[in-house]
Amino acid sequence: MNILELPNARKRGLAVQELPNEVLVYDLERDEAHCLNETAAAVWRACDGKKSVPEIASAVRLSLGEHVSDDVIWLALDQLSEHRLLEEEISSSFSGQSRREVLKRIGVASMVALPIIASLAAPRSVLANVSCACAVQSDCQLQPNCPQIQCLAGICSN
Amino acid sequence: MFVERIDGETILMTAKEKFLDYQIAGRPSFAFRSYGVRVHLTADDVDLLQTGIRVAKKALVGRLNEIDCSSQDADHRFSLHRSADGGFYIGDDGAETAPMADEIAFARLLNAMIRANVAAKAKRFVFLHAGVVTVAGRAIVLPGDSYSGKTRLVAELIRRGATYFSDEYAVMDERGMIHPFDRDLSLRPDGGHVPYDVRPEDLGANRGGGPTAAAMLILTKYEPGAAWLPERISLGQAILEIVPKCIGIASNPEFHLNVLHRTFECSIILKSPRGDTPETAKRILQAFYKLPAPKGSGRLI
């Protein structure tokens, strides 16, 4: 993505829960949940498909009350894109640098918390949380703490 | 008069009623509603149906009411069958399990399937896989996967005076209040996989109570040798961690996230691995007693 592109937050197929200083997003198409910290959430909210990255930085600055560099915005956009929370995928502006290197570089200078998006998959099977009961072998594989070896007589056993 | 005893309850049915029941249904059947979910059970014969009813009552801790409901109108359907080789298998809304030779295994799996499907299809409740105890009318919620030591920790907390609510589900309503799901505790012997039931009363505890607000949410998992060193985590991080433990969240994530938010928005949230169970239970209760009293209670907890 270049600087002229206008990132647009995805709205379709998501359930959104606003929390104090965080946003929870559930992706209905992928059955994944994401937790956006305050900075990531502010960037996501500002992605209206009309603002450029510097304009998003201004909007986030207003919302958080602190200076926010373009690098911080790019870091957030990079993660939002990776988690499919933007309408269109963007390519990282940190080509040649790992996210760890970028975090190290901008983390020291940043006045705001760095954007973080944590994610987890939700189980699709209703038998995924039933004390190692199973109907078929795959039910045991969905319960990571069970012995998992095989579904014997209705219970995951080894 | 037919006299049927199901879980200590006597059901009287005239021969004519029994006969009509067969004539109309074609197969012995029973329908019930639990947590708003209508379930239809049919079986190859009356004995098997009685087993199914007994299992359903146990699976749902007696929280079911018989209803008049056809198979077509039900939210979920189970059919119970005898296989040609003398075993059993379960029809689950069209799918079938593999045959099981052992009636105990059949009952165990049916119990889990009824429980899980009611939990997944309940529209006005969220079922979180968690242990729950209450102290002074406030809940401590301990989400956990199977084999995470959840029931052992619950057992230790109730030995220390907490009231038993559940070792399986935190059942939350739309107001964010937690309801008891107080089946007998299901403990596993050391190194064993097949659980056995323990009555909370045998551990000196009371069980149940009315809907209760959550005071603490404890995210912990047994790790040999680990020390209980809790850190506070944010509500969003906590909800993210318990999303995979919510039964049926995929069917209505908006409702689930909203209920989780309401339930835990005023809770203290702690996370730590844990080793020794009695020591952890002691530390959790110590932390609980340091909490400020809820507004308007006029007492210290």
Place of tokens 């299809």: B121
Contact A155 B145 (CB under 8 A): no
Adjacent-strand bridge partners of B43: B80
Residue type (1 letter), B85: D
Which pLDDT score, from 0 to 100, does residue B15 have? 45
Whether A77 shows a pLDDT value over 70: the answer reads yes
Identify which of B95, B101, B116 has the shortest CB distance to residue A130: B116
Of A47, A25, A27, A48, the closest CA to residue A117 belongs to: A25
Is residue B266 a contact partner of residue A20, using CB atoms and an 8 Å limit?
no
| B253 interaction partners in chain A (CB closer than 8 Å) | 15, 26, 28, 33, 122
**Percentage of residues of chain B with pLDDT beyond 90:** 68
User: For B188-207, what is the mean pLDDT?
Assistant: 83
Q: What is the helix (H) or strand (E) element at residue A49, kind and residue range?
A: none
Distance of alpha carbon B179 from the chain centroid: 10
> Contact B116/A129, CB-based, under 8 Å?
yes
Q: Where are the beta strands (DSSP E) in B28-184?
A: 29-34, 37-43, 65-66, 76-82, 88-92, 95-96, 125-135, 138-143, 163-166, 169-173, 178-179
What pLDDT was estimated at residue A158? Answer: 61
* Residue contact B117–A33, C-beta within 8 A: no
Cross-chain CB nearest to B244 (options A36, A121, A127): A121
**pLDDT for B52 beyond 80:** yes
Evaluate if residue A122 carries a pLDDT over 60.
yes
Q: What is the pTM of this model?
A: 0.86
Helix (H/G/I), strand (E/B), else coil: B300? coil
pLDDT score at B299: 42
Contact B181, B160 (CB under 8 A): no
- What's the ipTM? 0.82
Contact criterion met (CB < 8 Å) for B147 and A157: no
Q: DSSP states of A75-144 as a string?
A: HHHHHHHHTT-BSS----S-TTS-HHHHHHHHHHH-SSPPP-EEEEEPP--GGGGSTTB-SSHHHHHT-T
**Dihedrals φ, ψ of A93, to 5°?**
-90, 5
Q: How does pLDDT run across B28-46, given as a tens digit for each residue?
A: 999 999 999 999 999 999 9
Helices (H) and strands (E) in chain B, counts: 7, 18
One-letter amino acid of B31: A
Q: Could you tell me which residue, B156 or B97, shows the higher pLDDT?
A: B156
Shortest Cα–Cα distance, B240 to chain A (Å):
6
Q: Is the pLDDT of residue A19 over 60?
A: yes
Closest CA to B198 of B147, B145, B151, B130: B151
pLDDT at B2 over 50: no
* Tokens, residue B157: 């907390």
When the pLDDT of each residue in chain A is averaged and rounded to a whole number, the result is: 83
Which chain B residues are within 8 Å of A26, Cβ to Cβ?
Answer: 243, 249, 253-254, 256-257
Q: Tell if the CB–CB gap between A145 and B116 is shorter than 8 Å.
A: no
Interface mutation target, options B181, B257, B271, chain A, most CBs of A under 10 Å: B257
Set of chain A residues whose Cβ sits within 8 Å of the Cβ of B104: 153
Average pLDDT of chain B is 88
pLDDT higher than threshold 60 for residue B255? yes
What residues contact residue B213 under an 8 Å CB cut-off, 6+ apart?
B138, B139, B176, B177, B178, B266, B294
Which residue, among A30, A129, A132, A137, would best test binding to B if mutated, counting the most B CBs under 10 Å from its CB? A129
Q: Is A147 exposed, middle or buried (0-12, 13-18, 19+ CB in 10 A)?
A: middle
What was the pLDDT predicted at B4?
A: 52
Which pLDDT tens digit goes with each residue over B97-154? 888 888 888 898 899 899 999 999 999 999 999 999 999 999 999 999 877 788 999 9
- A129 band by pLDDT with thresholds 50, 70 and 90: low
Of A113-122, A135-144, B23-32, B267-276, least confident by mean pLDDT is: A135-144
Q: What does the pLDDT read at residue A80?
A: 95
Q: What is the pLDDT of residue B298?
A: 45
Is A141 touching B (CB cutoff 8 A)?
no
- Show residues of chain A in contact with B234, CB under 8 Å: 19, 21-22
Q: Do A34 and A25 form a contact (C-beta atoms < 8 A)?
A: yes
Sign of CA dihedral B3, B4, B9, B12: negative
**Side chain identity at residue A50, one-letter code:** K
